[in-house]
Amino acid sequence: MHIDLTKGDIKGQIKKLAIPASVGFFFHTMFNVTDTYFAGMISTQSLSALTLSFSIFFMMIAFAGGMSEAVTALVGNALGEKNKDRAAHIALNALLFALALSCVLTFMGLSFAPYLMGLLGAEGEYLHEALAYIDIILYASVFFVLSFFINALLNAVGDTVSFRNVLIFTAIVNIFFDYWFVLGGLGVKPMGIKGIALATVIAEVITFLYLFYRVRKTPLLQNYNAFYVDKNVFAALLQQGLPPSANMVLMATGIYIITYFAAPFGKEVLAAFGIGMRIEQIILMPAIGLNVAVLAIVSQNNGAKEFERIAQTLKLALFYGLLVSLAGMLLLLGGAQELIGMFSSDAKVIKEGVLYLRIEALILFSFVVIFVNIAMLQGIEKPAFIFYISLFRQIVAPTVLLGLFAYLGLGVLWIWLGIAAIVTLSAVMTWWYSKKRLLELSQK
């Protein structure tokens, strides 16, 4: 299957790509939500340990996610040029690249996880519990990385439905295995947080197998006999993929930095932060779907030199994102206490989680602006800015500002306010730069 995105109704194409992608990512996020729920059943310490583990795991998997976006951009541009042989050649080399990448990420994760968690104050049973989760995930990282890359190939040909379908199924599977492994039964002893990790791995293996089956149905993996290792493709993947990978790795590092400054306020604050992030991710699912749609549409139209369609795509995606943000803001402002209460009965966890969510509600559209414009820059193969804005948003500004707040002895409220201010400023900067690049493109 290959959908030509260089012609036809852009509104319909955005909806056709974004809605299945949003639904898919919603159920992907339900993995984290389910895991958070069952960790909360174990103890507040388990919930906090899961938050620590997530920041480390996200660092590793974020790099794979960023590199996979390069695959969508490169294959999409080749398809836009009507060069299917080139698209297939890139696809096969990308999968080989993914295998090598998974080995590197596994080694680095296993080597540095204990040290990074120690920096966050984890020790004794707390550290042991966090490592029990992350080690199982890291050993299975090849399935996570390959799933990212294969889904990127499917996105490039306009298929966001396959990812949606398998994630709906595996989200249900994950609930079943979480319940079984955490609580025990049928000959299985209660496994605690290890059971949560094992359930996630089983679901990810199923995701990989199904997505590989689906991509075999496309023209991208049909010409095995002509395959050869192409260093130029590897170089192009690195050139196109490093900026978005850096963006996602810096995002993960940013979560680590926030966790570092929030940790002194207690395990309840960390638990609330972990719950709040999961809820926020669910609210932002439509924005992530728009990101996928914009990247796919812009990539093909850039290859076809249809620059006016790129501008229209960006405008429509921002409009849809504004509507979604307003709905999400109302939900978080009005229902924050009920949402946090679904995951914890601890009064302090609920109080801190409500504070976090109500501040985040005010910057949802800022996230949309960043996601959509970054997707456009990747699609026109101009991703360098992504690294610089991410370095500012995720590392430099939080370190300086939150470090200042810590020095002044300010409370956790100031952490959330500081992050909100940084995200808003970053959105303005990203919008300005993207507008400039789009104007240059239209004048060609």
Cβ-count burial of 102 within 10 angstroms (0-12 exposed, 13-18 middle, 19+ buried)?
Answer: buried
1 lies in some domain: no
Query: What is the total count of domains within the chain?
Result: 1
pLDDT at residue 264 greater than cutoff 70: yes
| Apex 271 CA angle, 268 and 274, nearest 5 | 150
61 lies in some domain: yes
Which of the given ranges, 123-127, 208-212, 259-263, 274-278, has the highest pLDDT on average? 208-212
4 lies in some domain: no
pLDDT at residue 52 greater than cutoff 70: no
Question: Which structure tokens are listed for 436?
Answer: 């400039």
pLDDT at residue 422, as a whole number:
92
pLDDT at residue 400, as a whole number:
92
What is the per-residue pLDDT across 408-436, written as a single tens digit (0 to 9) for each? 988 888 989 998 999 999 999 999 998 88
pLDDT bucket at 47, cuts 50 / 70 / 90? low
How far lies 214's CA from each of 162, 258, 407, in Å?
7, 39, 53
pLDDT bucket at 4, cuts 50 / 70 / 90? low
**Amino acid letter, residue 324:** V
5 lies in some domain: no
How far lies 55's CA from each of 19, 161, 242, 254, 321, in Å?
28, 29, 20, 9, 27
pLDDT at residue 2 greater than cutoff 60: no
Task: Provide mean pLDDT across the span 130-154.
Answer: 84
| DSSP state at residue 394 | I
Place of tokens 């302090």: 348
What is the per-residue pLDDT across 186-214, written as a single tens digit (0 to 9) for each? 777 767 777 888 888 898 899 999 999 98
| DSSP state at residue 396 | I
What is the per-residue pLDDT across 211-244, written as a single tens digit (0 to 9) for each? 999 888 877 777 666 677 778 888 888 777 777 7
Q: pTM of the full predicted structure? A: 0.66
Which of the given ranges, 38-42, 112-116, 387-391, has the highest pLDDT on average? 387-391
Average pLDDT value for the chain: 80
pLDDT at residue 374 greater than cutoff 70: yes
244 lies in some domain: yes
Residue of 356, 330, 430 whose CA lies nearest to 389: 430
Task: Provide mean pLDDT across the span 26-45.
Answer: 70
3 lies in some domain: no
Q: Are 75 and 93 in contact (CB under 8 A)?
A: no
Mean pLDDT is lowest, of 34-38, 201-205, 323-327, 350-354, for: 34-38
Cβ-count burial of 188 within 10 angstroms (0-12 exposed, 13-18 middle, 19+ buried)?
Answer: exposed
Q: Are 340 and 353 in contact (CB under 8 A)?
A: yes
pLDDT at residue 171, as a whole number:
83
DSSP codes of every residue in 323-388: HHHHHHHHHHHHHHHHHHHTT---HHHHHHHHHHHHHHGGGHHHHHHHHHHHHHHHHTT--HHHHH
Contacts of residue 48, Cβ cutoff 8 Å, sequence gap at least 6? 126, 267, 270, 271, 274
Q: Are 265 and 43 in contact (CB under 8 A)?
A: no
385 lies in some domain: yes
pLDDT bucket at 45, cuts 50 / 70 / 90? low
**Amino acid letter, residue 391:** L
184 lies in some domain: yes
Give me the domain span that covers residue 110: 10-442
What is the per-residue pLDDT across 151-183, written as a single tens digit (0 to 9) for each? 888 877 777 778 878 888 888 888 888 788 877
